[in-house]
Amino acid sequence: MEQNTPAATHARKGYPGRGEAERILAEAEPLNPGPWGDHSRTAAHCAEKIALYAGLDPDKAYVLGLLHDIGRRFGKRHLGHVSDGYTYMMSLGYEDAARICLTHSFNDKRMESYVGSFDTSEEETRLIREKLQEAVYDDYDLLIQLCDSISGAEGVMDIIDRMGDVKRRYGFYDPDKWNRNLELKAYFEEKMGKDLYEAVEKDTFTPGAG
């Protein structure tokens, strides 16, 4: 007989509840200490705030933002964190969260635009490529892509500053990916009828505060 537990209910929805998502992240951080945890909290905050103004589910947006980088629990990998996160979330039955672990890194659906090392096995690379080809992006995919591009470990960043920081660290930022992020900013500002940075409380939000 199928158990009707909160976790089972959320698994059917494709993502965990807020409390479970926060537990998953808190459990993961000590396994690979670094700024990615607070980066994820900032992304979750931004996703929730944008969702409130854009007619999306704020709880779903928050959880997907919180877990988009959960593959980093398995170590310091670049492209590998994408396949690690996808596989981990699928193992827990959270299909929507798994999808975001994959799609957040590819706002133009091209593996070639990934910023970082291609440190995946042939099997992992094939998994990412196949799932990208299958994916039909919805507003949650686009939302987390945008939030990833404005979220720092210490709070919300200007999108140009954030992309510039990534470019300095890796020595490259695909111009199509750069331009697509700016298109996503404009897309969600139109949906919200509001300035992006005002919506996400750029000047006041600090991850972990409150």
Q: How confident is the model at residue 7 (pLDDT cuts 50, 70, 90)?
A: low
**Phi, psi torsion values for 20, nearest 5 degrees:** -65, -40
**pTM of the entire structure?**
0.93
Residue with token string 């995946």: 120
Phi, psi torsion values for 3, nearest 5 degrees: -80, 140
Residue 5 has pLDDT above 80, yes or no: no
CB of 144 within 8 A of CB of 65?
Answer: yes
Q: Residue 22's domain is classified under what CATH number?
A: 1.10.3210
Which secondary structure element, helix H or strand E, spans residue 170, and what is its range? helix 159-170
pLDDT tens digit sequence for 102-124 = 999 999 999 989 988 999 999 99
Of the candidates 181, 47, 168, 165, the one whose C-alpha atom is nearest the C-alpha of residue 113 is 181
Q: Is residue 31 a part of any domain in this protein? A: yes
pLDDT of residue 8: 53
Range with the poorest average pLDDT among 42-51, 53-62, 90-99, 165-174: 165-174
> 3-class DSSP state for residue 43?
helix
pLDDT in tens, 133-172: 999 999 999 999 999 999 999 999 999 999 999 899 888 8
* Higher-pLDDT residue of 210, 36: 36
Of 10-14, 74-78, 177-181, the range with the lowest mean pLDDT is 10-14
Per the domain annotation, does 205 fall within a domain? no
Q: Calculate mean pLDDT across residues 166-180.
A: 91
Do 45 and 60 touch, CB atoms closer than 8 A?
no
Could you list the residue range(s) of the whole structural domain that residue 94 is in?
Answer: 6-199
Residue 30 lies in a domain: yes
Does 204 map to a domain?
no
Q: What is the pLDDT of residue 1?
A: 41
Q: Identify whether 210 is part of a domain.
A: no
